[in-house]
Amino acid sequence: MSFTVFATAIISAMLINNVILMQFLGICPFLGVSKKSSSAIGMSAAVLFVMVIASAVTYTIYDLVLFPFDIPYISTIAFILVIASLVQFVEMVIKKFSKPLYKSLGIYLPLITTNCAILGVSEGNITGIWTETTPYWEGLFTAVSVSIGTGLGFGLIIFAFSSIREKLDGSNVPAAWKGVPISLVVAGIMSLAFLGLAGII
């Protein structure tokens, strides 16, 4: 548990293995919600929030419940149920304690249940970080660091992309390329730029 682990996890999850451009998780909100910068920021804040909580909870469940009881094959079912109920629970808590936060995040929270980025990061934590011998707290710390980095990377890309898209709306695009096709090609060019960051760690 050290700052180096934290910083490495953040940089590698945010810039090098970017969740959208390199791992292709969360493409639906990437194409759907990124039409306006304000909604992009709201969505990415909600994703970051849920992602950190969800990865901590799923890692804990896997390490302390599923593995000791010898039922790790059930992880997919357990994780999706935990995430779905967690999102509902978070929504209720926010509604109760912070009205302004609920107003800004509320509409995005139900969309997150079927966001593959959350389940993808939870599963990735198990295959990538979890081992039989890793102490619980150390693994949990790494998992949370990776999920913070992933959430920040999601926010960075979705905000940058929404800014590009606002510019794109005013430009003269051929009819066949209008809408999703040109957005995908723009994403491809962004992905090329991020490919250049591979290998800096």
Partner 1 sequence: MSKKENFLKGFFKENPIFVFLLGMCPALAVTATFETSLGMGLLVVLVLTGSNIVVSLVKNYIPDQVRTPSYIVIIATFVTVVKMLTFAYAIDLYDALGVFLPLIVVNCLILGRAEAFASKNNVIDSAIDGIGMGLGFTFALVVIGVFREFLATGGIMWGVYLPFFVDAPIHLFTLDWIINLFADGFVIADYGLAVFSLPPGAFIALGIILASFQFKRSRQLKKEEDEKKRFIEEKKKIAMEKKKAKALAAAKLVKAGE
Residues that bind partner 1 (CB under 8 A): 21-28, 31, 73-77, 80-81, 84, 114-116, 119-120, 123-124, 127, 175-185, 187-189, 191-192, 195
| CA–CA distance, 128 with 124 (Å, rounded to integer) | 6
Kindly state the smallest distance separating residue 113's Cβ from partner 1, in Å: 8
The answer to whether 157 and 62 are in contact (CB under 8 A) is: no
H helical segments located in 113-135: 116-128
Smaller CB separation from partner 1, 61 or 84: 84
Smaller CB separation from partner 1, 135 or 181: 181
The answer to whether 139 and 1 are in contact (CB under 8 A) is: no
Kindly state the smallest distance separating residue 3's Cβ from partner 1, in Å: 28
3-state helix, strand, coil in the chain (%, to 5): 80, 0, 20
Smaller CB separation from partner 1, 11 or 22: 22
Smaller CB separation from partner 1, 74 or 93: 74
